[in-house]
Amino acid sequence: MTAHQHTTTVGFIGLGDQGAPIARAIAEAGFELHAWARKARSLDGLDGVRYVAHQSPAELGAVSDIVGLCLNVDDNVRDIMTTGGLLAAMRPGSVLVNHGTGLPAFALEMTRLANDHGVEALDAPVSGGHAGAVAKTLVTLVGGEAAVIDRCRPVFESFSSKVAVMGGAGTGQTAKLINNALLMANQENLRDMLAIADGMRVEIPALVDVLRAGTSSSRALQLLGSAVTSDNADHLREMQLVDMDIFADAVHDLGDSAAGFTNRAVLGAKALPELAARIH
């Protein structure tokens, strides 16, 4: 599959459920992949693709034109960048990309920290989950300098069906948080709909089929029974609630007008296990 060998070298840190298939896609597209993992076992996720393993984030940073991070929380990104020695080792003009979901304000902080070392930064969170990463059909929402985004676009395209430029630093994160909040608010509509349908003489599985097919369909409804099941709903609920904490922070300055929507989305996140048990 490596039809074409790119000259750009790509470092990748964060080989989890989402990160490992992203890194694989980058290597399969012909980029020279460099990897570091805190736990050596995590490198198993790259079995079968060509990559260079490194002993430290700094060693990886020194040889990479673009470094992608796919870590759980902003604090981990900051740690790797600073105390982990990544930024100090990266070459001037190289690019640090954060694929994790986090605060728009942190994206601005990350950009400042990177620029102090002559390094460019992008926030590029992804939507589509593990399945989307494996299928290379993620939606990547990017914030940052247009010229820097253009340099990274071929890398993003290796694992995305859509690369959407949202604006300056932080806007990728804002768009991602907004998308997630809308997913959860639509989940809350489903919960309230089921509460009414329960009191009516109507077959719930047939109703779900009809709602999925028609004008009332949503990705929230389609994901239930496919990517979202009773097996992972509790885990996803916790992730959604973390996202909503970040969302509430990000829209805090908008005051009451955002509060109603935020509350609805939080209720929708909390309802996810109940929805997964009822909608397959």
Partner 1 sequence: MTANQRPATVGFIGLGDQGAPMAQAIGDNGFGLHVWARRPQSLETLAGMSHKVHDSPASLAVAVGILALCLPDDRDIWDVLGTPGVEEALRPGLIVVNHGTGDPEGNREIAEHLAGKRVAYLDAPVSGGGPGARERTLTTMAGGDRNAYETCEPVFATFSRTVAYMGPSGSGQIAKLLNNAMTMSNLDNAVALIRLVSRLGMDVRAVIDVIDVSSGGSAILGTLGSDVTPETAPHLQGLMRKDIEHFAEAIRACGLDPQPLHGRGLAGADGLAEAVGLLTADARH
Residues 177-236 binding partner 1 (CB under 8 A) are 178-183, 185-186, 189-190, 192-193, 196-197, 199-203, 206-207, 209-211, 213-220, 223
The strand pair at 138-143 and 126-127 is best described as: antiparallel
Q: Considering the complex, what minimum distance in angstroms separates the CB of residue 42 from partner 1?
A: 26
CB 133 within 8 A of CB 126: yes
CB-neighbour burial class of residue 141 (10 A; exposed 0-12, middle 13-18, buried 19+): buried
Min dist. Cβ of residue 211 to partner 1 (A): 6
Residue 38: helix, strand or coil by DSSP?
Answer: coil
* Interface pick for partner 1 out of 229, 239, 261, 270 (rule CB under 8 A): 261
Q: Which amino acid is at 212?
A: R
Longest dimension (CA), the chain: 67
- Answer yes or no whether residue 256 interacts with partner 1 by CB under 8 A: no
- Return d(Cα 191, Cα 172) in angstroms, integer: 29
Choose between 76 and 189: whose C-beta lies nearer to partner 1: 189
Among positions 137-176, residues that touch partner 1 (CB under 8 A) are: 139, 141, 161-162, 164-167, 171, 174-175
Least CB distance to partner 1 at residue 270 (A): 15
Stretch that binds partner 1, among 12-20, 24-32, 45-53, 251-259 (CB under 8 A): 251-259
Per the structure block, which two tokens stand in for 78?
């900051």
User: Least Å distance between CB 104 and partner 1?
Assistant: 9
